[in-house]
């Protein structure tokens, strides 16, 4: 008899974005693309919003995939923005829905301030321009400004826009206070889900700050960390596999796909998790639909 397939070999993609936040495809288009790329277990993780979850689950089932509910919550920790992914929660949970609504709240004003700053360096009409790319008016994000600046020819691609305009110290960057780490983890757990640190390799933390992030996250009840993500280099797959073992966290895998035109990592096209890790989907088995 052949060996049972290792849970590590499951083609799970548990991180991506639709038009409900800053992706360019609908949940249905993403589901079709994921299934076409061989994804077996999928989660849509829009920023600070669960409004696409019922559509995504239905689309996943129509494509023959299994589904976990998902969200990516913006958090401020040590003066930086950290993303916490939630998986396998009740998408209709009232406390989580309210918390996410409050987290989204400052985005409109922030976007207007970003546009004012860009106008001072000669880029006019950025607020209206970014809005044209927005699928959900409550979720105007830096990504939508980046698409507008590319459309206007200010930069070749969105990465260049972030480098030149939208990151700390650059003319279109407006600092913002998001949810606390504790609140984000508690909303996810309160709704019956698992909290996962998203793309830890992307933060510019000192070793001490990263230690604080992992230990406080665990202290609040966080259980997972993204190891194989479109935001990590192969060296970071190894580095964060070690950290998952060191901190006793389950490991997640997700492309962070946003758009066929922008994302270098397609849905379902990541290497498997390294050996010796516990995949988040093992702990979430009873919440897979
Ligand atoms: P916001 O939530 O409005 O601050 O926007 C954050 C989003 O911007 C992230 O979820 C990514 O989609 C995108 N982003 C952040 N940094 C970069 C970058 N360096 N290049 C391209 N996109 C980025
Ligand atoms: Mn995004
Ligand atoms: Mn993120
Ligand atoms: Mn993301």
Candidate from 70, 130, 143 with most ligand 1 atoms within 8 A of CB, to mutate: 143
Domain boundary pick from 117, 142, 164: 164
Residue 1 is predicted with a pLDDT of 53
Residue 12 is predicted with a pLDDT of 98
pLDDT digits (tens, 9 = 90+) for 213-266: 999 999 999 999 999 999 999 999 999 999 999 999 999 999 999 999 999 999
Query: Residue range 147-168: average pLDDT?
Result: 98
**What confidence tier does 6 reach under pLDDT thresholds 50, 70, 90?**
confident
CATH number of the domain within which 238 lies:
3.20.20.140
CA angle 257, 30, 179 (to 5 degrees): 55
**What confidence tier does 210 reach under pLDDT thresholds 50, 70, 90?**
very high
Residues 26 and 145 in one domain: no
- For CA atoms 159, 234, 40, 282, give the dihedral sign: negative
In a domain, 2, yes or no: no
Residues 283 and 194 in one domain: yes
Candidate from 47, 83, 135, 142 with most ligand 1 atoms within 8 A of CB, to mutate: 142
Q: Which two tokens stand for residue 268?
A: 């379902």
Residues 25 and 92 in one domain: yes
In a domain, 40, yes or no: yes
- For CA atoms 234, 235, 238, 240, give the dihedral sign: negative
Residue 140 is predicted with a pLDDT of 98
In a domain, 172, yes or no: no
Residues 182 and 272 in one domain: yes
Domain boundary pick from 164, 195, 212: 164
Mean pLDDT score across all residues of the chain: 97
CATH number of the domain within which 158 lies:
1.10.150.650
Residues 142 and 97 in one domain: no
Q: How far is the CA of 100 from the centre of ligand 3 (A)?
A: 15
- Does the pTM exceed 0.75? yes
Q: Does pLDDT of 103 surpass 70?
A: yes
Q: Does pLDDT of 177 surpass 60?
A: yes
> What's the structural domain count of the chain?
2
In a domain, 169, yes or no: no
Cβ neighbors of 112 (< 8 A, separation 6 or more) are 127
Residues 194 and 219 in one domain: yes
Contact status, residue 43 vs residue 254, Cβ threshold 8 Å: yes
In a domain, 171, yes or no: no
Residues 136 and 265 in one domain: no
Q: Which two tokens stand for residue 22?
A: 């800053």
Ligand nearest to the CA of 166: 1
In a domain, 15, yes or no: yes
Contact status, residue 46 vs residue 21, Cβ threshold 8 Å: yes
pLDDT digits (tens, 9 = 90+) for 30-88: 999 999 999 999 999 999 999 999 999 999 999 999 999 999 999 999 999 999 999 99
- For CA atoms 262, 106, 85, 226, give the dihedral sign: positive
Query: Domain range for residue 140?
Result: 107-164
In a domain, 170, yes or no: no
In a domain, 142, yes or no: yes
Residues 15 and 97 in one domain: yes
Residues 239 and 125 in one domain: no
Residue 7 is predicted with a pLDDT of 87
Residues 142 and 186 in one domain: no
**What confidence tier does 3 reach under pLDDT thresholds 50, 70, 90?**
low
Cβ < 6 A, ligand 1 pocket: 22, 47, 74, 141-143, 158-159, 162, 258
Query: Strand order of the sheet with strand 80-87?
Result: 70-77, 80-87, 194-197, 224-229, 250-254
Q: Does pLDDT of 2 surpass 80?
A: no
Residues 191 and 221 in one domain: yes
Task: Take atom 3 of ligand 1 and give the residue whose Cα is closest.
Answer: 141
pLDDT digits (tens, 9 = 90+) for 106-147: 999 999 999 999 999 999 999 999 999 999 999 999 999 999
Residue 5: count of CB within 10 angstroms of its CB: 8
Residues 213 and 86 in one domain: yes
């Amino acid at each position: 008899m052949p060996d049972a397939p290792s849970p590590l070999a499951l083609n799970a993609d548990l991180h991506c974005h639709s038009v409900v936040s800053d992706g360019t495809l609908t949940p249905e288009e993403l589901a079709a693309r994921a299934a076409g790329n061989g994804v077996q277990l999928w989660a849509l993780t829009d920023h600070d919003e669960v409004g696409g979850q019922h559509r995504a689950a239905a689309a996943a089932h129509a494509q023959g995939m299994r589904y976990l509910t998902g969200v990516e919550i913006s958090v401020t920790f040590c003066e930086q923005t950290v993303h916490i992914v939630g998986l396998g929660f009740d998408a209709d949970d009232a406390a989580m829905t309210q918390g996410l609504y409050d987290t989204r709240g400052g985005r409109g004003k922030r976007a207007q301030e970003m546009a004012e700053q860009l106008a001072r360096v000669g880029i006019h009409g950025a607020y209206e321009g970014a809005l044209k790319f927005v699928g959900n008016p409550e979720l105007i994000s830096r990504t939508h400004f980046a698409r507008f600046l590319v459309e206007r020819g200010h930069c070749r691609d969105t990465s260049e826009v972030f480098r030149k305009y939208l990151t700390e110290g650059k003319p279109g960057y407006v600092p913002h206070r998001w949810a606390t780490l504790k609140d984000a983890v508690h909303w996810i757990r309160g709704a019956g889900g698992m909290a996962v640190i998203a793309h830890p390799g992307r933060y510019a933390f000192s070793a001490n700050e990263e230690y604080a992030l992992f230990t406080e996250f665990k202290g609040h009840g966080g259980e997972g960390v993204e190891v194989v993500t479109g935001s990590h280099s192969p060296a970071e797959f190894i580095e964060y596999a070690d950290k998952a073992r060191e901190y006793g966290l389950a490991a997640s895998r997700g492309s962070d796909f946003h758009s066929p035109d922008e994302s270098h990592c397609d849905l379902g096209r990541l290497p498997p998790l390294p050996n010796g890790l516990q995949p988040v989907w093992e702990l979430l088995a009873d919440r897979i639909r």
